[in-house]
Amino acid sequence: MHHLAEVVFLVGYQHLEVFMHRLAIRREQIPGILRDYLVMTIGTLCIALALNIFLDPNNVIFGGVTGIAAMLKTLLGLPIGVTSLVLNIPLFIIGLKRLGGFVFGLRTIFATVMLSVFIDLTANRVGQFVQREPLLYIAYGALLSGIGTGLVLRVGGTTGGVDIVARLLQQWRGIRPGQSMLISSVVVFGAAGWIYGATPVLYALLLAFIETRVIDIVLEGFSDGRSALIVSDKPEAIRDAVLHDLDRGVTMLEGRGGYSGRERAVLMCVISQAEITILKKMIYNIDPRAFVVMTEAVEVLGEGFRPAKAE
C-alpha cells in the first residue's frame, strides 16, 4: 500500500511538472501564483458579503452582470449566483480570445465560479444590515464591493461580466477600469429603472460612483504625486530652485514652440500635493511669464516617493 502511494505521488508529480512546463511556470513562481489565487478568493468573498449583507437586503440596484441577475431574481425568482455564472459565459469567450489565453481564462473561471459560489453560499447565512438610512448601506456596500473587485483585478483576474469589458476597454482605449465599470453600470441602471422606480436608480448611481472610486484606489493607490511641466525663459534659475530649495529632482527637456518655432527649455518635475503652492510661488518669483502645466500623477515610484517593487 505504501509502495502504491509512492507510485501515485510520483506519477502525479510528473504530470504536474509537464503541466507547469506547458504553462512556462517555474518553481519559484508558485508562491506568487498561490498568493494571487488567495487574493482572488478574498476579493470574491468581499463582493459576495457586500451583496448579501448591505445591498440585496435593502433592494439596492447594482450594475453589471450581477445587477442583471438580481433583476431576474426580482422578476423570476432565479438565484443570483447561478444566473450570473450563465450570463458570464459569452463574455468569457470574448475575453478568452482577446485578453491573454489560458492564464486569463483560468483566473477568470476561478474568480467567476468562486463569486457565484460565495453569493449563493452566504445568501441566507450572514447577518443583514437593514437600515432606513440608505447612505449607510450604500457607503459600506460600495466600500466592501470596491475593495473586493479591486483585489481581483489587481492580481490579473476578473469576476467576468463588466470586469472583462473593463479590461478590454483598458487595453484598447486606456480607460481606467473604474470608469468603464461606471459606464456599464449606468446602462444597467437605465434598464432597471422601470422595475424599481427612479429613487433606487439614483441611489444606485451613488453606489456605482463610490465603488468605482474605491476600485481605482485599490488598483493605483492614493495619488499624492503631481507632475509639473514648466516652460520658461529662465530654466536654469528654476532648475536650481527646484533642486536646492525644494529638494526635488528635475529633468531638462528640449522643446520647440509650435507657433513661433523657437527653441525653448522645458522642465519636468514630480512633487507632492503639499508642494504645489510652494513650487508655483517659486516659479513665478523667478519668471512671472512662465507657462506651467500641473497634472495628477496616477502612480509615482522611486526616490522621494513610494519605493518601487515587483508585485
> Across residues 236-263, what is the average pLDDT?
87
CATH code matching the domain that covers 225-297, chosen among 3.30.70.120, 3.30.1300.10, 3.40.50.300, 3.30.750.24: 3.30.70.120
Helices (H), 155-270: 162-173, 177-196, 198-220, 235-240
What DSSP element (H or E) covers 255?
A: strand 251-256
Grid coordinates representing 300 are 509615482
Count CB neighbours of 290 within 10 A.
17
Give the per-residue pLDDT at 309. 58
Specify whether the CB–CB gap between 154 and 214 falls below 8 A: no
Which long-range contacts (C-beta less than 8 Å, at least 24 apart) are formed by 287-290? 287/232, 287/233, 287/234, 287/237, 287/238, 289/232, 289/233, 290/230, 290/231, 290/232, 290/233, 290/234, 290/238
Please state the domain extents for the chain.
2-220, 225-297
Does residue 29 surpass a pLDDT of 50?
yes
pLDDT cut 70: percent of the chain above it: 80
Predicted confidence at residue 161, as pLDDT, reads: 74
110: its cell numbers: 476561478
In tens, the pLDDT along 47-84 reads 999 988 888 787 787 777 877 887 888 788 888 778 88
pLDDT in tens, 267-308: 999 888 778 888 999 999 999 999 999 887 766 666 666 665
The DSSP 8-state label assigned to residue 132 in this structure reads S
In order, the DSSP letters of 169-196 are HHHHH---HHHHHHHHHHHHHHHHHHHH
